[in-house]
C-alpha cells in the first residue's frame, strides 16, 4: 500500500481542532512510526505549538507547497479545505486520509473502517475517506452481526456530543452552562438554539427530503462500508449536552433469527467492540464512561418483540477517537503494513 520504510513523514491538516489534537495524541500513544510530524492550521491558529513525544512542534500556516516529502496527510479541516488541498497533497506524493465528507461517497474513494472493510484499502487513488463518526461506531457493531444473520433494516436514533461539531461548540456548551448557573442570558452562536440542558434534533444542514445531511450519512455510508446496498437504514440524529461520546439507539431487523444471547456471543469477540451489557448490575455504556476509550461499547441488547427477527442495541463510542482520529490513524497503520 505504501512503500515500506522505517519512518513516514506525516502531516496533520487542521491540527488545532478537536479531532486534529486527538490525531496527534493517538499517533503518539500508538507509537506510529512518524518521522517528521508536521502540523498545519489556518491563519487563526498557525503560530501555536503542540506537544508530540516530548517536543513542542510548531503549528504552521498551510499552503499548497507544504506537502512535499509527506507520506501520509491526515486532513481534518472541513470539506472545503479537503476538496481544495487533498488533490494537491496527492499530487505531491502523499496518501491522504480525509476526515471530511468531501470524498466519502465517490465510488473510487475507499471509505474505510479497518475492522469492517480493510480490504477496500487495496485500491485507492491517493485519497482514503474516514467515515462520519456516527456511522463508524454503528458499523463496527453491526458488521459481525450482518455477516452471520444478514441485517435487512436499521432504525437508528443518535445522541451526539458537542465535540462532534468542534472545539467552539464545546466552549459554547460550557459558556451557556456557566451563564445559566449564574442566572444570565445565553446567546447561542454555534448552534441555532441553546444546547445546555436541551436536545436539538438538528445536525448539519437539512435536505429537501426533510432529513439532515448527518442522517443521510448514516444511510449512505453504512451501505458503502458494509458493501451491501440492500441494507435499509433510517436515521434521526440529535445533539445532546454531552462533551465527548456519541450514543446510538439502534434497532435492527435480521433475515435469520438472532437472539440477544447470540448477539452477545458474537460481539464478545468482535474486533474493536467492547461488550458491556449487564443492566441488572448497572452495566451499560454511557458516553461519559466511554470517552477516552478506543473500543466501541455495546449494551442493552434486547430482542425486539415487535417483529419476529429484531434486536435493540445501545452503542456508544468516543466520537473524537474511534469516530474520527483513531480510525484515521488505524487506516494509516493498515497502509504501512503494506
| Residue 212 is a binding residue for a second copy (CB under 8 A) | yes
CA–CA dist 323, 232 (Å, integer)? 22
Verify whether residue 202 is a known catalytic residue.
no
Query: At 50, is the secondary structure helix, strand, or coil?
Result: strand
144, 164, 287, 323: which one contacts a second copy (CB under 8 A)? 287
Residue 29 is a binding residue for a second copy (CB under 8 A): no
Which distant-in-sequence residues (6+ apart) come within 8 Å of 309 by Cβ? 149, 253, 254, 255, 256, 257, 258
Among 59, 314, 334, 335, binds a second copy (CB under 8 A): 314
Q: Per rule CB under 8 A, is residue 154 in the interface with a second copy?
A: yes
Query: Exactly one of 57, 129, 218, 242 binds a second copy (CB under 8 A); which one?
Result: 242
Q: Per CB under 8 A, does 241 bind a second copy?
A: yes
246 is catalytic: yes
State how far Cα 64 lies from the chain centre.
27
Q: Which of 7, 123, 199, 246 is catalytic?
A: 246
Choose, by CB under 8 A, the member of 88, 202, 220, 223 that binds a second copy: 202
Question: Please, which of residues 114-153 interact with a second copy by CB under 8 A?
Answer: 153
- Is 16 or 247 the residue whose CB approaches a second copy more closely? 247
Contacts of the segment 220-225: beta carbons below 8 A, 24+ positions apart: 220/105, 221/104, 221/105, 221/111, 221/131, 221/132, 221/135, 221/139, 222/135, 222/138, 222/139, 222/142, 222/154, 224/104, 224/105, 224/111, 225/111, 225/112, 225/113, 225/116, 225/117, 225/131, 225/135, 225/139
- Residue 190 contacts a second copy per CB under 8 A: no
251, 319, 327, 330: which one binds a second copy (CB under 8 A): 251
Catalytic residue among 124, 133, 146, 199: 133
Q: Kindly report the length of the chain.
A: 338
Which of 118/213 has CB closer to a second copy?
213
Which helix or strand (DSSP H or E) is residue 34 part of? Answer: strand 34-41
Report strand pairing: 95-98 vs 55-61: unpaired
Q: Rule CB under 8 A: which of 292-311 touch a second copy?
A: 299-307, 310
Cell of 313: 442495541
Q: Binding residue for a second copy (CB under 8 A) from 145, 169, 240, 324? A: 240
Q: Three-state DSSP class for 223?
A: helix
The binding site for a second copy (CB under 8 A) comprises 153-155, 157, 159, 173-174, 177-178, 181, 192-194, 197-202, 206, 209-212, 219, 232-234, 236, 238, 240-243, 247, 249, 251, 260, 279-280, 282, 284-289, 299-307, 310, 312, 314
Catalytic residues: 133, 246
Amino acid at each position: 500500500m505504501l512503500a515500506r520504510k522505517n519512518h513516514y513523514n506525516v502531516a496533520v491538516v487542521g491540527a488545532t481542532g478537536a479531532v486534529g489534537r486527538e490525531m496527534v495524541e493517538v499517533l503518539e500513544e500508538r507509537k506510529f512510526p512518524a518521522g517528521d510530524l508536521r502540523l498545519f492550521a489556518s491563519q487563526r491558529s498557525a503560530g501555536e505549538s503542540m506537544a508530540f513525544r516530548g517536543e513542542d512542534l510548531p503549528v504552521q500556516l498551510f499552503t499548497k507547497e507544504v506537502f512535499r516529502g509527506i507520506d501520509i496527510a491526515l486532513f481534518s479541516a472541513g470539506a472545503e479545505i479537503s476538496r481544495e488541498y487533498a488533490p494537491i497533497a496527492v499530487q505531491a506524493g502523499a496518501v491522504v486520509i480525509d476526515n471530511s465528507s468531501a470524498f466519502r461517497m465517490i465510488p473510487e474513494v475507499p471509505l474505510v473502517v479497518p475492522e469492517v472493510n480493510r480490504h477496500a484499502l487495496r485500491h485507492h487513488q491517493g485519497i482514503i475517506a474516514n467515515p462520519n463518526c456516527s456511522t463508524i461506531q454503528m458499523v463496527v457493531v453491526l458488521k459481525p452481526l450482518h455477516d452471520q444473520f444478514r441485517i435487512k433494516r436499521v432504525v437508528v436514533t443518535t445522541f451526539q456530543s458537542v465535540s462532534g461539531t468542534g472545539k467552539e461548540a464545546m466552549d459554547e456548551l460550557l459558556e451557556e452552562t456557566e451563564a445559566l448557573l449564574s442566572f444570565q442570558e445565553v446567546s447561542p452562536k454555534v448552534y441555532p438554539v441553546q444546547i445546555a440542558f436541551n436536545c436539538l434534533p438538528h445536525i448539519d444542514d437539512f435536505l429537501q427530503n426533510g432529513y439532515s445531511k448527518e442522517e443521510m450519512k448514516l444511510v449512505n455510508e453504512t451501505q458503502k462500508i458494509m458493501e451491501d446496498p440492500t441494507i435499509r437504514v433510517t436515521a434521526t440524529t440529535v445533539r445532546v449536552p454531552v462533551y465527548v461520546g456519541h450514543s446510538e439507539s439502534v434497532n435492527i431487523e435480521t433475515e435469520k433469527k438472532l437472539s440477544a444471547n447470540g448477539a452477545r456471543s458474537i460481539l464478545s469477540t468482535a474486533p474493536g467492540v467492547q461488550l458491556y451489557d449487564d443492566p441488572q448490575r448497572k452495566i451499560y455504556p454511557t458516553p461519559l464512561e466511554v470517552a477516552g476509550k478506543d473500543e466501541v461499547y455495546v449494551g442493552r441488547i434486547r430482542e425486539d418483540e415487535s417483529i419476529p427477527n429484531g434486536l435493540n442495541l445501545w452503542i456508544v463510542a468516543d466520537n473524537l477517537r474511534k469516530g474520527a482520529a483513531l480510525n484515521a490513524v488505524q487506516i494509516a497503520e493498515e497502509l504501512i503494513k503494506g
